[in-house]
Structure 1
Amino acid sequence: MKQPAEVILRGGIDASSVVWLPDMPPGSFRADPFALWRGGHLHVFAEAFDYRDRVGHIDLLIFDRDLNLLECRTVLKTPWHLSYPFVFEADGEIWMLPEAFQSGALTLYRARRFPFEWEPVCEVPLDGPAIDATPFFYGEKWWLFYAPSHSKLAKKSHLHVAWSDSLTGPWKLHPLNPVRIDLSSTRPGGTPFARNGVINLPVQDCRATYGAAICILEIDCLDETQFSATVGEMLVAPPWMAPFTEGLHTLATAGSVTLIDVKRMDVSLHGKLGRVDGIIRQRLKRANVFRR
């Protein structure tokens, strides 16, 4: 969208500012968009998922200044599922911290040749594989907000925090983890920003469904021993976006451009058969790996 996040949070989504990504083939989708401007081009990184193999990878879409699509290709693919490609600049480098909890680890990547080539730099050891890990530099420290993966409920309702003096660690766990337990406002969902001295963390409202809406968690106290926050503005998919009104679970900023993802559920026979086929393929793949 050709609107900064703060404008959207105050007044909602303006239909005239929306630029839709190209459609995906049946049985697949893109989600979790994050972006950086570089060389006059907007580089959008997003999860690409196909129900036939059920293993997400990271796609790159490059746009010009007028948001015309110039190129689309896959830039990061692993044997395990990848999503939430949080891309950011720090220490003169460009980094990506994608979710890969099925690998059993959280791995920090660095651009070897931006935006197409990425190399793993280090693992970030926490209290288990992290979900939607979101880094933010604030108060001369790196803070990492994430959801734990130890249970299905915790993935959507617990917020954990870690901190470090360096992006590559060592990372220390916050002693109050989980610092917040609330199905409506904990799982990270986008790019944090500071406003009036307060950290604003986009988080997902998962009460009605996973990623039903985004709200802003206003963190007014954060240090190595304390944490407090209140819920601020909420953003939902407006009715004019129908049929994509069944969820909105990312709010990522890139200067004057804001990225969101909205969803619809395909309840057609074709959609259901595609999901069943994907589950069968995934289980057969795991069985073959086990037999080896």
Structure 2
Amino acid sequence: MKKCLYTLLLLTIVLLTIINSRTPFFRQDGGGWSVGYGSSKNYPEKIIIDAKAIYSIEKLKAQNDSTVFLADPFFVKEKDTFYIFFEHATTKSRADIGLLTSVDGTNYKYRGTVLSQKFHLSYPQVFKYRNDFYMVPESKQANAVLLYKAHRFPYDWRVCDTLVPNVQLVDPSIYVSDSLNIMVATDYAKNMYVYEADSLLGKWKLHKQPIALIGTESRAGGRFFADKKGLLLPVQNFSNGYGYGVSLYRFLFKNSNYTITREKPLFMMANTNIKEFNAGMHQLDIQRLDANHYYYVFDGNRLNSDSKTLNFWGPLKWNYLDLKNWVLQKF
């Protein structure tokens, strides 16, 4: 009997050690989020963070003293101006969509709030479609994925359609073109769903392969990027807590099916040399502006202190989901 108990204890210790090595039971004490930006002549093999190219929480607080953090940046370039739309939290439970603008992609000015609702907003993916500007933000508290249209860009955003009703999904990322219209979004059980439609304003429905990812990498962390090989999607990694890093996944759609490859694991992680991003990163929006010019925006979190907090059940749940995802992919 004692031998069985010792064996069980040993196996439990080994299992917990393995789990802790993947997803630690003690989390870092993260603080406020900030936004960074940069450019490259080619699609970057690595995101180079310049300490001078950061719009920090301190800069925004100087303009709006109720600021808690700024995160989830998406940009568009229209004519000679860069527009960064971002989640602007002014309380711990609610956020609006704020705006930064720049004529050189380097020196940004805060332009205030462009969209405010009675519910929490974040993840403002803004894009141009047939000469109009649209936004698909995270609107889970509205119990729907909503589509907004700008009637006086970059201001006056109004709901023009409900893409997916009666759901609570986080971080919807959309891609629309003449040949492919897809969207991914994630539920609270860490399932990333794939939706499809015949056009942006068509009827959005679940793909016949409805679940793309499950577990600690199942939540989008930016816009789809199209290249000759297919689509790249930044995906958040929260194996060491929310906002730990970003991996890049390759989606290849063919004959109404798709495949997924984890192409660049942990493409972005905490940078210990940059205080604004020394706790982790979780968002990347990269676009090609012309033949030799890529521009990108991202966000990151900072450490409040060196202390850590215990989170026992989270790692158990996340490792179970990762194992489940691995089994589904293999078999």
- Measured against the shorter chain, the TM-score band is 0.7 to 0.9
Once the two structures are TM-superposed, the CA of residue 39 in structure 1 deviates from its matched residue by 2.9
Please list every run of at least 4 consecutive aligned residues from structure 1 whose deviation after the TM superposition is greater than 6 angstroms: none
| Aligned: 1:38 with 2:70 | no
1:13–1:238 contact (8 Å) kept in structure 2: no
The 2-side partners of 1:159 and 1:83 are apart by 18
Aligned equivalents of 1:129 and 1:55: distance in 2? 16
Q: Which has the higher strand share?
A: 2
Of structures 1 and 2, the larger Rg is shown by 2
TM-score by length of 2: 0.71
Match of residue 242, structure 2, among 210, 219, 225: 210
Distance 1:162 1:223, change over 3 A: farther
2:116 aligned residue (74, 77, 80): 77
Match status 1:260 vs 2:294: no
Q: Determine which of 104, 107, 116 is the counterpart of 2:155.
A: 116
> Residue type matched to 1:73 in 2?
G
Cα pair distance change 1:105/1:14, threshold 3 Å: closer
Counterpart selection for 1:29 from 69, 78, 82: 69
Q: Kindly provide the amino acid, as one letter, of the partner of residue 64 in structure 1.
A: V
> How does 1:46-195 map onto structure 2 within 5 Å?
46-51=86-91, 54-125=93-164, 128-137=167-176, 140-148=179-187, 151=188, 154=189, 157-183=190-216, 185-195=217-227
Greater relative contact order structure (CA < 8 Å, 6+ sep): 2
TM-score (norm 1): 0.80
Query: Which AA in structure 2 matches 1:169?
Result: G
Deviations 1:80-117 (A, max 9, x none): 00000000011221100111101111110011000011
Is this contact kept in 2: 1:3–1:17, CA < 8 A?
no
Residue aligning to 1:244 = 277
Query: Cα deviation per residue 1:109-144 (whole Å; 9 max; x = unaligned)?
Result: 011000011111011125723211111125712100
**Cα distance, 1:17–1:5 mapped onto 2, change above 3 Å:** farther
8 Å Cα contact 1:5/1:253 also seen in 2:
no
Q: Which residue does 2:48 correspond to in 1? A: 13
Distance 1:167 1:99, change over 3 A: same
- The alpha carbon displacement at 1:244 in A equals 2.5
Aligned match of 2:39: 3
Residues 34 and 45 in structure 1, CA contact (< 8 A), matched pair in contact too: yes
Q: Could you tell me how far apart the structure 1 residues matched to 2:50 and 2:260 are?
A: 31
Residue of structure 1 equivalent to 2:10? none
CA displacement 1:183-222 (0-9 Å, x = unmatched): 1x22111111123322101110011111211110111345
Q: Which moved more, 1:126-135 or 1:116-125?
A: 126-135
Query: In structure 2, the residue corresponding to 1:263 is in which secondary structure?
Result: strand
Change in CA separation of 1:83 and 1:228 when aligned onto 2, cut-off 3 Å: same
C-alpha distance 2-204 of structure 1, shift in aligned 2 (>3 A): same
Deviation at 1:30, TM superposition (A): 0.5
